[in-house]
Amino acid sequence: MTNGPSPSSLTGELQIEVFGADLDGRQFIEQTRPLTITRDGAIILLASKLAPESELIVRNPVTKEEAVARVVDLIRDAIFVHVYGIAFIDPSVNLWQVEFPEIQGKKTVIMECSGCHAVDAVLLSEIEMEILKSKQALRRHCECSNSSTIWKQSDRKVTERKATERRVSDRPRQISPIEKPTTRAPQERRREKRTAMKAPACIRCYGGEIVVECEDVSRGGFRFKSRNAYPAGMQIEAAVPYTKSSVNIFVTAQIVYQQELSGGFYRHGVAYVESIKEPDSKS
């Protein structure tokens, strides 16, 4: 017996709020409704145009709960509205607060990459199955170009490389929400909750400006990656979010730590100067 509404009864009346950045880097907030909901995502209507793999914050205004989601694919494109399939970064979140039917077992689908024509056995999640049914295709990571490509169902045999049974959400991701305690110690002193979200930021230092992409943001600062190495303790000015050819507000901030990564990149933790000056005593 269920003690909550069913997905089918809730979908038509559920309202959600979506926060993110569109194709031009402009921040937006939209109130919309899902066309379909699953345990691990939804198919939603938005007026904004989004890039595949971009990240959103989805909020349930009734429960005040939020979840970070990834744009899996554009399902339908119209003049004034766009239909997207989104998947939660953390599939264990329960944003909808509804009772779903028992999972009968995930389905393995034979799919072929439209780019290199490699064939894989792919274990699809619930939202991926919904997107595949709606579009007859699915965007997923492929080793041929080390990027997302369009995959379709196929009756060919799996290619010689080992068949992979993995979800689209299991692809290699650059965002790592959990770091070793030794590299995260300065950041963990923040009182504000961090939100993993890709958003452009502009850093002013050394007499110039550089645009970077945030990995997560909070009221007290943010984290970003760059090929430039900025030493801990260095004072900078930062605008988050940053929109090109628009009025941006720069505030004083400080690099609180630097971590060397593979591929010539460096991860930096940034704290706004006002946040650093806040007393550490508990009220």
pLDDT tens for residues 94-120? 888 887 877 665 678 999 998 888 898
Tens-place pLDDT, residues 222-256: 899 888 889 989 999 998 878 777 778 888 999 99
| Residue 238, beta-bridge partner list | 203, 251
Strands 107-113 and 147-153 come out as antiparallel
Encoded tokens for 94: 């329960």
Q: What single string gives the DSSP state of each residue in 73-85?
A: EEEEE-SS-EEEE
Give yes or no for a contact between 222 and 193, defined as CB atoms under 8 angstroms apart: no
Q: Is residue 178 classed as helix, strand or coil in its secondary structure?
A: coil
Q: What is the pLDDT of residues 149-196, one digit of tens each?
A: 888 988 888 876 544 444 444 444 443 333 333 334 344 444 455 566
Distance CA 15, CA 4 (A): 17
Cα separation, 206 vs 190, whole angstroms: 27
Could you tell me the domains of the chain? 7-88 (2.40.10.220), 107-167 (no CATH), 184-277 (2.40.10.220)
pLDDT digits (tens, 9 = 90+) for 17-51: 998 888 777 778 899 989 999 989 999 999 998 88
The pTM score is: 0.55
What is the spatial distance between Cα 131 and Cα 72, in angstroms, rounded to a whole number? 9
Dist CA 124 CA 128 (whole Å): 6
| Tokens at 100, concatenated | 């779903």
Amino acid at 71: V
Q: Which two tokens stand for residue 263?
A: 């591929």
